[in-house]
Structure 1
């Protein structure tokens, strides 16, 4: 018998409808093929907690705890303990107790922690028990980038977080048998920043559900009333996430007006759950649509003449780009959003360095439907060749369990 796996993730991996849940969902499914899995995770709200029965269909055992602590209290606790705030905000005594009990009661051969804040719950392990850390993204670099462009209290907080979190990430990587990041670019940056070697820090890319994100699949298409007249440009993402907010603000206020000078009927749809008040306010700009959460994002992707990903700060591989390409849509992405994706500018997608170039590339695609169609077709083929989940997670059994599973 191979032994069992303890999987810790910061959000319940159901449903796979946002970036962090997509990767954890597919990791969980693959882990369950290797050995029985015990899952400890958090839910942000009642909706998250309602998916616990779905988790129970895969997990050998589970605990789903609601995050209900005050962000202010968690932040002050982190400052008092000299911890990264990301760690203190997720600290939970009940999770620590569940982990200790599960390790004591079950024949756990490997502990898998997903996202840096869950490493806090991994105690010192017996020599025979492996520790696999999936950082996903180089999070401290993101906070350092925020801090570098900010002043005042928030600038100080983000610079502190970048420093504290980097030290924590380095310590975790030294404890783990192996750590992974979502792209080789992220892994290489982490190795350079921490002095860890390629034997300890590797890339394990995201994939895309090609049978689901397939233009030939069955899904509800948009009505004419929903789609409207004229060219449709689409952005998808969780709309309370800062990089997404900044991306759509940039496109709506800088790129879209340039596009509408030549194509006044062009519209920009911002499609995603939990739009902040700042995102909702963008609907006042001519041509901007803010949908909020939708039942099936594929309808909007299929209706898009062009999909854009104008992120200015981005980490790892962007699921939104993979999904749009899998749906055979022409994509215009920023260099940050395209980084880490094994695709070529001009062949599989277009990469625009600034808003004026974004506008020019979108207009070129709107004016040449044959070119747009060919780019979308090549994008789909690239996803089939490179980003099927079984392919990207092929090394997971060896990484988690270490050699033979017999």
Structure 2
């Protein structure tokens, strides 16, 4: 299994998905050799956690200098920056050497970032987990980019589409996180993409009776541009409307590595937590969960987790569509600041109706996105591929 980031701690979506898949493969009795690229230090605690799931773990460190060199060479190699950042010929030789020594039955690559490391092994069946349609996210950045940066993002989009298309033939099986992403992938045959949604561990994420001490919570990696944008949108544009009617309403922005622009949102009514040891604590103390996403792709783990702990949730169309829930029964959907603020006020002022939505969302997620269901699909794909 080849991943572009060490899959612990679980502060990012790709790490969570890799960890879930590793946990299942261990449980199912598969022998997993993990090759993990790492652009930041990996703690001994994190190493121990992942070593417990794998037969062997190889960490390939990406120094700052090597990353800068990779980015420069990506221009000449025709690679998108978000792939070139993780690729070098020296790493490729190291990965090739490891694969030849192991002689695995299967090579599993997560994201297009690692796809090139499978290219030299046509004789070994492979699975690529595209996870998200990177071309969607890149197209969104192109649309919102300043005029002088648009040529760079246009080239990036063309190259992302090219590697999505080209890498398809290197693998026997192809995974994606949602049908929305599947339909927007630049591949020869979208019907060949198998949708495996992120499951939520409903034994871990459960409702709690702890006192509610904050009104609105948003959770995510707070250094990720779509989450940064959503946080600013929530605090700067949505909440002023809410505060006109509910001046004491409080907001919690919870998640690792908050960007300076997120830290700047902190105030008497807005808490920016930074890293928390147990994200469930942040969900449990909240009355409402809001995910006001305006950019980004894929199924949002944060929504699955919030619904699993029985929080009434509000989101935008971009995050609602891949969820396939029923609105307004399971979740409320709005796109403008007025719509989202209206939903927040409705839930705060109508706790009985908020509880009904929370219950319906809980039933939907536990019935549709149980991690066991995702694992069953994954096992079917592995069996078919080998």
Alignment TM class, shorter chain as reference = over 0.9
* Cα pair 2:313 2:331 within 8 Å, conserved: yes
Q: Displacement of 1:195 after TM fit?
A: 3.4
Give the CA deviation at 1:34: 5.0
What's 2:189 paired with? 196
For the Cα contact (< 8 Å) 2:122–2:170, is it kept in 1?
Answer: no
1:75-129 C-alpha deviation (Å, 9 max, x unpaired): 22211322111121112455423422232222311110011101121133243x2
Which stretch of structure 1 is more off in the superposition, 170-179 or 325-334? Answer: 170-179
Return closer, same or farther for 1:277/1:197 CA change in 2, 3 Å cut-off: closer
Partner of 2:179: 184
Counterpart in 1 of 2:100? 104
Alignment root-mean-square deviation, CA: 2.0
SS of the aligned residue for 1:393 comes to: helix
Contact 1:236–1:320 (8 Å) recurs in 2: yes
Structure 2: which 5+ runs fail to align? none
Q: What do the CA deviations read for 1:142-179 (whole angstroms, capped 9, x no partner)?
A: 11221122224433222211110110111111221121
Residue number in structure 2 paired with 1:4: none
CA shift in 2, pair 1:125/1:398, >3 Å: farther
- Superposition deviation, residue 400 in structure 1: 2.5
Deviations 1:317-372 (A, max 9, x none): 00000000001000000111212113111111111121110000000000000111
Q: TM-score, normalised by structure 1?
A: 0.89
Name the counterpart of 1:69. Answer: 64
**Take 1:376 and 1:126, find their aligned partners in 2: how far apart are those partners?**
48
State the number of aligned residues: 384
Residue 53 of structure 1 deviates from its aligned partner by: 2.1
Structure-1 residue corresponding to 2:8: 14
Is contact 1:144-1:163 (8 Å) kept? Answer: no
The answer for the alignment partner of 2:313 in structure 1 is: 331
What is the rounded CA distance, in whole Å, between the counterparts of 2:42 and 2:146 in structure 1?
36
Distance change in 2, residues 1:301/1:294 (3 Å): same
**Unaligned stretches of 5+ in structure 1?**
1-6
Aligned to 1:243: 226
Query: Which position in structure 1 is the counterpart of 2:293?
Result: 311
Q: For 1:6-405, list aligned pairs within 5 A.
A: 7-32=1-26, 33=28, 35-48=30-43, 50-70=45-65, 72-93=68-89, 95-127=91-123, 129-190=124-185, 193-198=186-191, 200-216=192-208, 227=213, 232-284=215-267, 287-402=269-384
Q: Give the Cα separation in 2 of the matches to 1:137 and 1:13.
A: 17
